[in-house]
Amino acid sequence: MPKYVIIVAGGKGERMGASTPKQFLELAGKPILMHTLEKFKQTIPSIEIILALPENQIDFWEELCYKYDFVNTPHQIVKGGETRFHSVQNALKLVTKSSIVAVHDGVRPLVNSETITTCFNEAEKTGNAIPVVDVVESLRHVSKQDNSNHAVARSCYKLVQTPQCFSSEIILKAYEQEFDTAFTDDASVVEMLGETINLVEGNQENIKITTADDLLVAAAFIK
């Protein structure tokens, strides 16, 4: 079955404390975003990559592709929207055939091939799949109403990663919905249709690079 991945890269670098958007910061010799695109192409050579970027960052990305001779990972570029939801919605216009569609964060360059393959395979069998990992820290629930707090069982919770994979029929229908602030990721958009979300094992290194410390951790993982 044909496969797509929509890679969403709309960061501004504010929490990173950098003037350059975080997806363009260098990691092990090239921008973070290039590592991300390459991982999918290496894992599934036939995959079609759609990159959603803010309109004012497209020229800069093209300059980086020229600078780093980034020619072996073909991809289409679409203009990002006001929110992540709208960016994915724009990218889905390029999904033209019955397929499995993944959505992945541009700043998760350390997703491994096993996680990618597992997500696509499960989505092909059941219609959707999202990768998760166990919570290893203790958790407490805080009530804003009375400022109370209490311990909760971490075994009842999972940390959600990307890529989140769906049959094209399901995700295209899901993104016909109006935007809702309750949408935190693609799974929550699909879940609003009444779909049951299937969980698969992710990989612990698959962190979302958001802060300067995350960048250091990612560099250590690559080494």
In the chain, where are the structural domains located?
A: 3-132+160-222
pLDDT tier for residue 17 given thresholds of 50, 70 and 90? low
pLDDT tier for residue 7 given thresholds of 50, 70 and 90? very high
CB of 64 within 8 A of CB of 31?
Answer: yes
Residues 4-20: what's their mean pLDDT?
Answer: 74
Q: Residue 15 pLDDT more than 70? A: no
**pLDDT tens-digit map of 21-74:** 999 999 999 999 999 999 999 999 999 999 999 999 999 999 999 999 999 999
**pLDDT tens-digit map of 83-97:** 999 999 999 999 999
Residues 125-151: what's their mean pLDDT?
Answer: 95
Helix (H, G, I), strand (E, B) or coil at 134: strand
CA distance 126 to 136: 28
DSSP 48-105: EEEEEE-GGGHHHHHHHHHHTT--SS--EEEE--SSHHHHHHHHGGG--SS-EEEEEE
CB of 130 within 8 A of CB of 119?
Answer: yes
* Pure H helices in the chain: 32-43, 58-67, 84-91, 113-126, 168-174, 186-191, 212-222
**pLDDT tens-digit map of 159-196:** 999 999 999 999 999 999 999 999 999 999 999 999 99
CA distance 50 to 5: 6
Q: What is the average pLDDT value for the chain, to the nearest integer?
A: 95
CB of 51 within 8 A of CB of 76?
Answer: yes
Residue found by looking up tokens 């995350």 in the block: 214
CATH number of the domain located at residue range(s) 3-132+160-222 in this protein: 3.90.550.10
